Amino acid sequence: MAVIGLGLSAFGGVLAEIYYFKPQTVLVSTMFLAIISYVAGLAMETFIPRWGYFRYLNPFPFNKKENAMIVIMASAAANSALGTEVLAVQRLFYNINPNPAASIFLLFSSQMIGYGIGGLMRSILLYPSKMLYPGVLPLISMFDALFDAGAKKKLRLFYIAFFAIFIWELFPEWMFPLLTGFSVFCLANPNSADFTRVFGGSNGNEGLGLLSICFDWQYISGGVNPFAIPLQAQFSNFLGYILCMAVFVAVYYKNIWSSLAFPFLSQELFYANGTLYNQTLILNANFEVDPTLLAEQGLPFYSGTWVTQLLVTNLGMAATFTHLLLWNRDDMKAAWEWLAPSALRKYRENFTSESLKFWKQGTTEEREAELADNKDLDPHYRQMLKYPDAPNSWYAITLVLSAITALVVIYKTNSTLPWWGFLVSLALATISILFFGTLYAITGLQFIIQPFVQMIGGFIHPGKPMANMYFVLFSYNSVNQAQLLLRDLKIAQYTKLAPRAAFTAQTIGTLLGCILNFTLMNSIIDNQREILLSVEGTNIWSGQQPQQYNSQAIAWGGLAHELFANGKRYDWVAWAYVLGLIVPVPFWLVHKKYPSLRLDYLYTPVICYYIGWLCVGINSSILSYFSIAWFSQWFLRTRYPKWFVKYNYILGAALDGGTQVMVFILSFAVFGAAGNSHLFPQWWGANQNGNYDRCLLIDD
Ligand SMILES: *[C@@H]1O[C@H](CO)[C@@H](O)[C@H](O)[C@H]1NC(C)=O
Ligand SMILES: *[C@@H]1O[C@H](CO)[C@@H](O)[C@H](O)[C@H]1NC(C)=O
């Protein structure tokens, strides 16, 4: 467990950071980590001898608990810590080179604070059986499949798919990148800028990629594996995708928000004449917005599609509330039951001075007796009572230590965030974990609360973009981390892994991940700085994520009032919060009247979010994504249901795995993750001086 866990954590932490600087947001696949650790575990079980002293190295067969512990450790490491985003923005856009020790401690504290808060809420967000965490169920069912008889055949399919895609990825990724986006339209007419905007999509921020075909699994399965999501859930995404293309083209060609003056797709800020905005010119020595300097430079502009994306994200967030109230009233009731007056009264009655002493851990028998008649209890949790729980004190100490470290760091690094702003961010995080965490636990839905938190941060610290970044880091990131911890503790519960082991694995994985994230971030920025600052980036590297974070911080943190207040240039972005509350209502009313239209299949918040989907990255993959999702979730599921049940997830995980290992190797070998890049020589299928799909390169 230790060997494989640490090895995979290192792999995941490095890969996640490489992916952070990719033109398309790609995540390290948890399913893949689960399978590769299983394969490695079997190998160690088979090849380490059992005689003599070797017995101590290989005492028992590899089991499910070890596998779960490895997945928890490695998936905690396989994230790009949001803290690295703050540091990357400081290096790229503020020319600040943060002190390495302070940076590492910033990452440690920002990644661990959420664990502290989330852990202390276990009794609400983890123990009750209605806190189901539906998102982890495919993983659990795969564990079950791997550790029962008949796993051999599944493994054979896994190996074949893994090696086939591993070799194949050499072509679209390196030798023949035209395969990233095969567009008949651009090949027929490589001289039209309009064709690039609509049909192009093989490079970052190139175009919408309409009817372009992608053969690169890395981008097809980048955000979500098409084998994993049921068709019904995909339908709203698909509608949003169609709407997105229509809306983007309309916004751009109708010149709404002066779109024509700026690139079609971009996450950066611009002057009215279309040149890149130089944000250092409006900030004073303390990195705060200076009104006189701002008047000299004028307010910055966004590209029209990016404004659309901001608008529909807010629309979707507001729509989620109404949607849940209308359609999921019972779930909501269940989620908030603990807030009902009767439940609160019960807490008060049980609340003795004894229960405040969180450092005192009752013995197992005591707890079992205490919980024996509690019907709300998860049966999995009941079995877990055999193991001592990680006591509250562990989480409380995590919280306090991280908070103190964070306070020291924000003052040592001139973050401009004052101590009380930090405390407000923690309070906001706590409330969000309680509310959005419950919804996540019950429905698997994750609210995207970043824009909302950014707005509140901007309101509390106007004119301070850097403070806004730190505020978002400690509030938004803590919510994510708390959900991650609770999800992983639930995985532990489902696989009967002792909670102390789960917490230890999670902590080790997270800390190791931070160090690797930081190292890789510095190496990539040192080597690819120019590309990361450009609008388009390349097919391999792109600064889209730090650019987004930065321009959001400047806009919401520095200029919220000037840009988004009523009557200002982008006021519809803020009004979207109000509009969004109404969006689901007509759909619900029509469904009540004409249920046969099946409008209950439409998930309006998701449609809203996806109207902004194509605002960034490599878009040629979408058609292939939906085709494969349809193939898996309709064709295989209805025609070959037996095959589907046995192999579908395994196949998806194998394809992700082979791809991700090849990308890992190529990143260091030829893409310049740590040194110069060596692109494949120019030929028809590898158009290194333009767009890979040979659409016209728009020079802006
Ligand atoms: C655009 O405007 C900015 C600020 O007014 C100026 O610095 C820049 O040179 C202008 N660019 C062009 C191409 O005119
Ligand atoms: C922005 O302005 C600063 C200060 O004048 C200058 O040092 C920097 O090079 C400029 N950045 C860009 C991208 O033009």
- Cα 542 from chain centroid (whole Å): 17
Give the residue among 449, 358, 344, 431 at the shortest CA–CA distance from 398: 358
Choosing from 94, 275, 281 the residue with most ligand 2 atoms within 8 A of its CB, the one to mutate for a pocket test is 281
| Cα of 92 from ligand 2 centre, angstroms | 12
| H/E segment holding residue 121 | none
Atom of ligand 1 nearest to the CA of 273: 1
Q: Does 280 sit in the ligand 2 pocket, CB within 6 Å?
A: yes
Q: Does 278 sit in the ligand 2 pocket, CB within 6 Å?
A: yes
What distance in Å separates the CA atoms of residue 512 and residue 108, rounded to the nearest whole number? 9
What distance in Å separates the CA atoms of residue 374 and residue 95, rounded to the nearest whole number? 57
| Cα of 532 from ligand 1 centre, angstroms | 22
The interaxial angle of helices 82-93 and 465-495, nearest 10 deg, is 150
Query: Is residue 356 packed enough to be buried (19+ CB in 10 Å), middle (13-18) or exposed (0-12)?
Result: exposed
Look-up of token digits 């295989």: 636
- Cα 232 from chain centroid (whole Å): 22
Q: Does 95 sit in the ligand 1 pocket, CB within 6 Å?
A: no
What distance in Å separates the CA atoms of residue 558 and residue 552, rounded to the nearest whole number? 9
Residue located nearest, by CA, to atom 1 of ligand 2: 278
What distance in Å separates the CA atoms of residue 2 and residue 508, rounded to the nearest whole number? 10
Atom of ligand 2 nearest to the CA of 278: 1
Q: What is the residue type of 456?
A: I
What distance in Å separates the CA atoms of residue 30 and residue 198, rounded to the nearest whole number? 34
Q: Which ligand lies nearest the alpha carbon of 700?
A: 1
| H/E segment holding residue 693 | none
What distance in Å separates the CA atoms of residue 211 and residue 229, rounded to the nearest whole number? 22
Instruction: Give the mean pLDDT per block of 10 residues along the chain (700 residues).
Output: 95 92 81 89 91 86 93 94 93 89 95 95 83 81 79 86 95 94 94 94 91 94 80 85 96 95 92 90 89 93 93 89 82 68 71 51 55 65 82 93 95 89 95 83 76 88 92 95 94 93 96 96 92 82 89 88 88 92 94 89 87 91 94 92 87 88 88 82 91 86
Residue located nearest, by CA, to atom 14 of ligand 1: 273
Determine the 3-state secondary structure of 301 from DSSP.
strand
What distance in Å separates the CA atoms of residue 26 and residue 18, rounded to the nearest whole number? 9
Do 28 and 225 touch, CB atoms closer than 8 A?
A: no
Do 615 and 306 touch, CB atoms closer than 8 A?
A: yes
Q: Does 271 sit in the ligand 1 pocket, CB within 6 Å?
A: yes
HEC string of 130-164?
Answer: CCCCHHHHHHHHHHHHHCCCCHHHHHHHHHHHHHH
What distance in Å separates the CA atoms of residue 428 and residue 348, rounded to the nearest whole number? 24
| Cα of 175 from ligand 1 centre, angstroms | 39
Q: How far is CA 183 from CA 170, 619, 625, in A?
A: 20, 12, 15
Choosing from 94, 278, 281, 293 the residue with most ligand 2 atoms within 8 A of its CB, the one to mutate for a pocket test is 278
- CA 216-221-227 angle, to 5 degrees, is 120
| Cα of 281 from ligand 2 centre, angstroms | 7
| H/E segment holding residue 436 | helix 419-443
For residue 493, the tally of other CB atoms under 10 A from its CB is 24
Given this model, what pLDDT does residue 59 score? 86
| Cα of 278 from ligand 2 centre, angstroms | 6
Q: What is the residue type of 285?
A: A
Choosing from 262, 273, 276 the residue with most ligand 1 atoms within 8 A of its CB, the one to mutate for a pocket test is 273
| Cα of 624 from ligand 1 centre, angstroms | 41
Given this model, what pLDDT does residue 386 score? 82
Choosing from 92, 280, 281 the residue with most ligand 2 atoms within 8 A of its CB, the one to mutate for a pocket test is 280
Choosing from 258, 269, 275 the residue with most ligand 1 atoms within 8 A of its CB, the one to mutate for a pocket test is 275
Instruction: Transcribe 438-469 into DSSP letters.
Output: HHHHHH------HHHHHHHHHHHSTT-HHHHH
- Cα 596 from chain centroid (whole Å): 36
| H/E segment holding residue 28 | none
What distance in Å separates the CA atoms of residue 383 and residue 386, rounded to the nearest whole number? 6
Q: Does 281 sit in the ligand 2 pocket, CB within 6 Å?
A: yes
Q: Which ligand lies nearest the alpha carbon of 279?
A: 2
Q: Does 273 sit in the ligand 1 pocket, CB within 6 Å?
A: yes
The two structure tokens encoding residue 667:
């990143």
| Cα of 94 from ligand 2 centre, angstroms | 10
pTM to 2 decimal places: 0.85
Q: What is the residue type of 368?
A: E
How many contiguous H segments (helices) and E segments (strands) does the chain have? 34, 0
Q: Does 275 sit in the ligand 1 pocket, CB within 6 Å?
A: yes
Determine the 3-state secondary structure of 26 from DSSP.
coil
| Cα of 279 from ligand 2 centre, angstroms | 8
Residue located nearest, by CA, to atom 6 of ligand 2: 280
What distance in Å separates the CA atoms of residue 679 and residue 670, rounded to the nearest whole number? 7
Greatest CA separation for the chain: 80
Residue located nearest, by CA, to atom 10 of ligand 2: 278
Given this model, what pLDDT does residue 371 score? 61
Give the residue among 407, 436, 437 at the shortest CA–CA distance from 422: 407
Choosing from 258, 262, 269, 271 the residue with most ligand 1 atoms within 8 A of its CB, the one to mutate for a pocket test is 271
What distance in Å separates the CA atoms of residue 208 and residue 206, rounded to the nearest whole number? 7
Q: Does 278 sit in the ligand 1 pocket, CB within 6 Å?
A: no
Give the residue among 82, 2, 77 at the shortest CA–CA distance from 33: 77
| C-alpha count within 13 angstroms, C-beta hemisphere, residue 68 | 27
Do 106 and 406 touch, CB atoms closer than 8 A?
A: yes
| Cα of 280 from ligand 2 centre, angstroms | 6
- What sections of 461-543 are H helices per DSSP? 465-495, 499-533
Given this model, what pLDDT does residue 309 score? 92
